[in-house]
Structure formats: structure tokens, C-alpha cells
Amino acid sequence: MQSSKIDELRKKIDSDPSNFQARRELIGLLLDNGYNVEALKHLNYLTELFPKDGRLFYNTAIVWERLKFPQKAVEAYKKAIAADPNQTDFLYNLANLYTEQGEFTSAVTLLKKVLKIEPKDANAYFNLGYIYEKKEMHEAAIKCYINTVVLCPEDVVARFRLAIEYKKNNQVQESIKELEKVIELSDSYSWAYFNLAAIYNELGDTQKAIHYLEKTIETNPNDVEAVKLVSKLYMKEDNFKKAESLLKKALMNNKNGDLYYYLALLYKKTKNIENYAKYLRIAISNFKTLSVHPKILKEKLNALEENSL
């Protein structure tokens, strides 16, 4: 349907290049269907004729972004803003592009302009929070994320980022409350469970840490870090059978060097030297997913073999 409409509009423009309405309609269809280079050709034609049409430059910038020419996109967004300084879409997109390029000061300036025009723009607050987070300005990030969740109470991503910033700012109880709210809104948000577990582990509450790690694995069985941490806590409580069962289950779907190493450590603690050596070897052979340098494990294995002679 759209391809026939595109062909029809192409024919109209070929027969009458001054049919600007048909050309604009064609540009929209070309953008929707991924014909970026052809869309750019028509956009360049129209921007020459209508240099004060901000929407044309805005669409030109989008095409340059798609074609991976960010600097040309920046130039086009600037022309769009010059034509219509109060169009928040133009300001917002250029701010996002600056953020991607790490030009945070320019991005902040533009996002603040968006908020002057539209004080209830939750996305602008969120993106400001993200920039402040990257700059390790935790209190500023917290304020922005709070504004986001006030405007959008069910935004679980904003609440999660707020919780992380609270934790970085040593506001542990506030972090816990936000993570609990994330889970209330989305009970499959595994990162919320994991971060609650990490907090309770730091607070020395092993049982709550284990509970939230088990919930993490329940929602995301492939979370290696959660498996590692909870198996470590099981072993700390001498619950070796549970740790062994968990690690072996995880290894059925994820041949991870760290998990093999943790299994080796378990057998060392239970004085099963044969299995300790066996899983050290397997861990070394899976060195690409080891967080410990394989040389260290080889030294452990060599020492073990020398002692057995």
C-alpha cells in the first residue's frame, strides 16, 4: 500500500517539481519506510526554498542521525532551533545528541530551555537527572528524578535511577523505599531485587539479602552476579548443599568461568579436594568469563598437585 503511494508521489514530483505538498508527503513516507538517502535529497531541495521552516531542518537532522553523521545532525538541529526557538522537539533532540557525545554542558542548557517552555516535561527532567548522574552530581540528579516521578508516578526506570542515586548519596532508607516501590509497580524488575539484596548485604542482614537474591534469580535466572553472591552467602551459613545445587543449575544454561570457580571454592570448603581440582581446571578453561586472572587459579592448581605428590 505505502510502496504504491510512494511511487505515485514520485511520479507527481517528476512531472511537477514545484508540487511541494506532494514532496512533503513523500518525505514523510520515505522516513517511515527507511529510505533515508532519498528523503534527504528531497529535504535538501525544500530547505533551499524554505530556509525558515524549522520542521524541514528537524527532519534533516533525524536523517543525518540515522545515517551516522552526528555533526551534520547537530548543524541541522541548530538551524531548526534558529527557525523556531520555542519548539521543544528541536531542543530536546539536540540535547539528546549532545548527551550521547558527552557534551553535557550544552545538553543541560537545552534541557533547561525545554523546562522553561514546558515545566511539566518529565522526559526533560529524567534526561537532566541522567546527565547529573554521569557527572556524579548526586543531589542534583535526585531532584530531577524526584520531579520525574512526581509527574509520572509509575515510571519504574526513573524510580530505579532515583534509588541508585539515593544509595550513592548515602540515603540508604530512601533507596530501599524507592526500590520497594519499583517492585510494587513491576514485580519482574530483577535489578530492583538485586540492589535491595546488595544493600541488605552491606547492612549485614544476610537473610534479607538471600531473600532478594533468590527473587533476582527467580525473575532473571541468567543473572550470574546474583548467583555468585547468593552462593557465597549460602556458603557463609554452611548451607553447602543449597549453594552446590544453585551453582550446578546455573551452569546448565551458562558455562561461566566464575560459576565454575565458585563451585571449586565450595568443594575446597567441604574438603572435597578431587572436585576442587576438577572445577579449578574447568574454570581455567573458561577463562573468558573469569573475573580472576587464570594465572592465579593455575598457581592454586599447581600448589594442590605438588602437595599431593
Q: In this model, does residue 309 exceed pLDDT 80?
A: no
pLDDT digit string (tens) for 20-36? 999 999 999 999 999 99
Residue 283 CA: distances (Å) to CA of 71, 79, 198, 235: 46, 57, 25, 19
Whole-number average pLDDT of the chain: 95
Q: What is the DSSP letter of 292?
A: S
* One-letter amino acid for residue 291 of the chain: S
CB neighbours (10 Å) of residue 263?
25
What confidence tens digit (pLDDT) does each residue in 96-127 have?
A: 999 999 999 999 999 999 999 999 999 999 99
> What is the C-alpha to C-alpha distance for residues 243 and 257, in angstroms, rounded to an integer?
16
Residues 240, 234: Cα–Cα separation, whole Å: 7
Cα 113–Cα 116–Cα 121 angle in degrees, nearest 5: 90
pLDDT of 86 strictly over 80: yes
Rounded Cα distance, 179 and 163, in Å: 6
Mean pLDDT of 29-55: 94
Domain boundaries, the chain: 255-309
CB 230, CB 242: distance < 8 Å: no
Mutual orientation of helices 257-269 and 224-236 as an angle, nearest 10°? 10
Cα-based torsion angle of the residue sequence 284, 287, 291, 292 in order, rounded to the nearest 10 degrees: 40
DSSP tag of 169: T
Confidence of residue 308 (pLDDT cuts 50, 70, 90): low
pLDDT, residue 180, reads: 98
Q: Select from 155, 121, 128 the least CA-distant residue to 142.
A: 128
pLDDT single digits (tens) 167-186:
999 999 999 999 999 999 99
CB-based contacts of 135: which residues, under 8 Å, 6+ apart? 104
C-alpha cell at 183: 517492585
